[in-house]
Chain A
Amino acid sequence: MPPETTDKHAAAQQAVDILHEISTILNCHLDRRTLSICISMIERGVNPEALAQVVKDLRQEAQAVEHQAATRQ
């Protein structure tokens, strides 16, 4: 079994690489971690459209937090 899991792992790694490349082409500004989280979520059946909205919302939230931090300093 171990060789199969390593194969699968390598393939998943490759998929993430490819998708990351695509995301850079598309200017998605996703790092590898976020991307892999998203992939795993979608693989579990999450609606991609909704997920995209979530990502966008969270980014805004993060920006707001950063802004807050900046003003507080």
Chain B
Amino acid sequence: MPPPDRVTNAIDNLISHLIPRDPREDENAAQERHDACFELARNLITSPATSVSADVNHASDLIKRKLIQTNPGQALRFSNLYSRLLALPVLDNKWAILYLLYQLADSPDPSEPLPLSPVKPSAPNYRDAIKKHGRERAKPTAASKPEEQQFKDAFQPEGLKQLPAKEVIQSSDERPSNVESPKRDVSLKSTLLASNYAAVDPPEHAILRDLPFTFQGVSSTTLPFTKQDTLQLPPSLPLPLVSLLHTLAEPSLLYRQLDQYCKASAPGQNGRPLGLLGQSLQAAIGTELRSYLTLIATLEAQIRKALSTMDESAPCGGIGKAGVTLKRCVIWTREATMGLRLMSLIAEESGNKKGGQLISLIHSFSSSHGDPVVAAFAERLLANFTRPFYDFLRHWIYDGELSDPYLEFFVREKSSDKNSGKGKTVGNVWEDKYELDEGMIPSIITQDFAQKVFLIGKSLNFIRHSCGDSLWVEDYSKGASKELRYGDTATLEAWIDEAYKTTMKRLIDLMANKFHLFQHLQALKDYILLGQGDFIALLMESLAPNLDRPAGAQYRHTLTAQLEDAIRGSNAQHDSPEVLRRLDARMLQLSHGDIGWDCFTLEYKIDAPVDVVVTEWGNRQYLKVFNFLWRIKRVEFALLSTWRKCMTGARGVLQNPDPVVTQTWKSTRGVLAEMIHFVGQLQYYILFEVIESSWDELQKRIRNENCTLDDIIKAHTNFLNDITHKGLLGPKRQHPGINESDRASYLSQLSDMLKFMLAYRDSVDGLYSWSVSDFTRLQEADVRTTTRHDVDDAFGSQDNVASEFPVLQERLKHLGTSFRSRLQFLLGDLAYQPDVDLRFLGVAMNFNDVYQPMRRRSKTSQSGTAANTSKG
């Protein structure tokens, strides 16, 4: 309490100053009023004071806020005055004075007369009412101040004024006051909260102490792991803490799960072996987990430090001042939690994937995930985890060896059962040893690239194992081997391109020079495709008498002897012995009734590395073409020999006075000439138009600078397809979906015609022998008529003629017409061929329009063919 005398003095002064002295009032009344006033003032002052927080800032804040609301212009002035006031050394209770001023603010002017009011101003009721009103409105207690202020802002009618006022706050001159006021509020609130803080069980510092263990997936007293994937929270915690712990439980549980994933040994899920890439993924995740543990260790150190310096006696354990709280832990572990989350996602999804698919999975995170954090994380993971993959790759492209025990690379060995299923490609080392598994190609390399890699390894492997040149491969792998790593794709691609070029060059070099691939191809063309004309002519001539006999009477030694003979007799003798060694003559599988011609075949033996180009299938195609050509050759040979016989005979033995016989011979010669023309055209077409042009194409392709073995194989296959298709040997599916009669392919049409020609030749031979016998008989008759002029013999001889000649004549005529009609059908077919070369054959055969091309198809199929041709 202040010293009473001075205060009373001051009150006296105040009263005498404020209350005017009424000159007409007597001294007593004045004294009485003075006393009354004094009593009132004294009572008020000495009454128990409501607690006002003794804070300079608080009062000035109140004033500022009031000024900003009512008179913004003055607020700045007040701030200036206020700072000056604070600078003054005098006055201890500046805040109190300000508070007083604040209380008196906007008070009515005392010099104005009292407004007339029905209530007596001196009435105690009124006074109380005013007092109460004033208190409620302008005298909030300090402690409840912020709440009340907020309440006012929200509910008072004047509260609305705050809105424009707040906008004023934004003006720059108000900045300091503006900053100050909310801080004030917060500090008040926090003190309030601090006092209201209820003790939790278990206390936060206990939870904090246990938290590092939980993060490492170890049970602790407060936070035990009940099951593999469950964390038990203490039931007595308040809700906010529980939610914090929920957040903190996530990394703990994820860590437990991932830790288990990493520890899972070799047999992965589904009982399958995990694979090198899987193990590597485990290792990479393990590394990440280690860095997580490092973080946890740091966190633990922080927690320990904070707990040791913590003031146990402070309210709520002093945890707020220690620097480590559960909330902070949540923040600190947030990024790690994201990493763990991503890893657990990867671990989960990797369950049924392996090898390249795993890489693709993680690469998809790094390349197409929108979140840069996730992408960066996946990228980091990828760098560690793809190491085994690059090891495979290195082994493959530099050594040509597949070291992939778990079938994780995108190249794999073909399973043998599949191999045996396809008869066509048995034993083809190039095609069948390895295959590319599209599904295993990781998305970090492109399809093109994978193809290249596949080819490199395959070539190296081929060079080493099939070409017997492992020395070179070793040298190469020593010289060129580089460490491949995830990251700079450009360098990797450059290296692989380089490896590709080197390998391919070496392989082609080996094929050309060591294994004489091109020489073999040339030999195939010369001998099997009848390119070496003199050899074939000689062979046919020498074999002809032999082959006319039944197939059963053919002996290999005679055939080989004849072959040898033909080689020696022709230019073939200048060929290299390497090639001639491989040439062989043999009989095909013979069936009943065949003669030697049907079974004879030439053979060119191809062995080990070259057979990847000239495959089993290729060999059969060659054989097919050879047989066809051989047959044509044979028919030509037969026709020509008959023609020769006829021509020489015509000058002597075949001269017959009978016009019928002469006519028959004439027409026969015509048909024979037609046939020879046909065979000639056919042969020309196949040998020159088809084989030579395709050969040219093939040469062009395989002589290409950067052509690979694959290219050669493809070119050769194309070559074979070309000659079989264009050479009228095409498979029946050339005309899909057309009725049965059309199924008769060119091959069967041609072989029919060839049969007709042979039959015709036989008939002509028959006619010839008849003519010869007739001629001899006539000669004899002539001799006889010189002695015995007898006409009967002539008649008798004519009877003899009649006995055989008409049959022969009829037969020849029949064969001639059916040959002609077949030729016309063939021409009709050829005229509508999509292929230009085949159409050209038709034109060449019928250049002077002797034949009427006919179509055997019905109307419906004609339209179908039309569509077919137009499509071509």
Interface residues of A, Cβ cutoff 8 Å to B: 8, 11-12, 14-15, 18-19, 21-23, 25-30, 33-34, 37-70, 72
Contacts and interface: CB of A to CB of B under 8 A. Distances in A.
A26 B14 contact: no
Contact of B45 (A51, A61, A69): A51
The 9 closest A-B CB pairs, nearest first, are: A52-B103, A26-B105, A44-B2, A63-B114, A47-B49, A48-B100, A48-B96, A59-B110, A45-B2
B2 A34 contact: no
A41 B108 CA distance: 22
Given A37-B17, A63-B121, A26 B106 contact: yes
Given A15-B88, A53-B44, A58-B41, A65 B19 contact: yes
A34 B90 contact: no
Interface residue range, chain B: 35 or more
A47 B18 CA distance: 19
Contact of B13 (A37, A39, A48, A72): A37
Contact of B88 (A11, A21, A60, A65): A11
Nearest to B105: A26
A22 B101 contact: yes
Q: Is the interface of A mostly helix, strand, loop or mixed?
A: helix
Contact of B6 (A44, A53, A56, A65): A44
B3 interface: yes
B33 to A, nearest CB: 7
A24 B52 CA distance: 24
Given A43-B93, A49-B100, 6 more contacts: A40-B6, A48-B52, A58-B15, A66-B20, A69-B20, A70-B113
Interface in B102-130: 102-114, 121-122, 127, 130
B91 interface: yes
B44 to A, nearest CB: 5
B700 interface: no
B22 A69 contact: yes
A43 B2 CA distance: 9
B729 interface: no
A15 B87 CA distance: 10
A29 B127 CA distance: 20
B641 interface: no
Given A28-B101, A48-B97, A64-B121, A15 B19 contact: no
A15 B47 contact: no
Contact of A57 (B47, B81, B103, B127): B127
A23 B85 CA distance: 13
A35 to B, nearest CB: 9
A39 B110 CA distance: 19
A27 to B, nearest CB: 5
A8 B104 contact: no
B19 A58 contact: yes
A64 B120 CA distance: 9
B31 interface: no
A57 B90 CA distance: 29
A49 B139 contact: yes
Interface in B364-419: none
Contacts of A38: 14, 97, 100
Contacts of A49: 49-50, 52, 99-100, 103, 139
Nearest to A54: B41
Given A61-B33, A63-B121, A42 B85 contact: no
B81 A55 contact: no
10 contacts: A22-B81, A40-B10, A44-B10, A50-B44, A50-B47, A52-B99, A58-B18, A62-B19, A65-B20, A69-B24
Contact of A59 (B3, B44, B47, B107): B107
A12 B92 CA distance: 11
A43 to B, nearest CB: 6
A49 B47 CA distance: 11
B35 to A, nearest CB: 12
A68 B106 CA distance: 25
A36 B683 CA distance: 139
Contact of B104 (A30, A39, A50, A66): A30
A64 B119 CA distance: 12
Q: Counting chain B CB atoms within 10 Å of each CB, which of A33, A38, A42, A64 scores highest?
A: A42
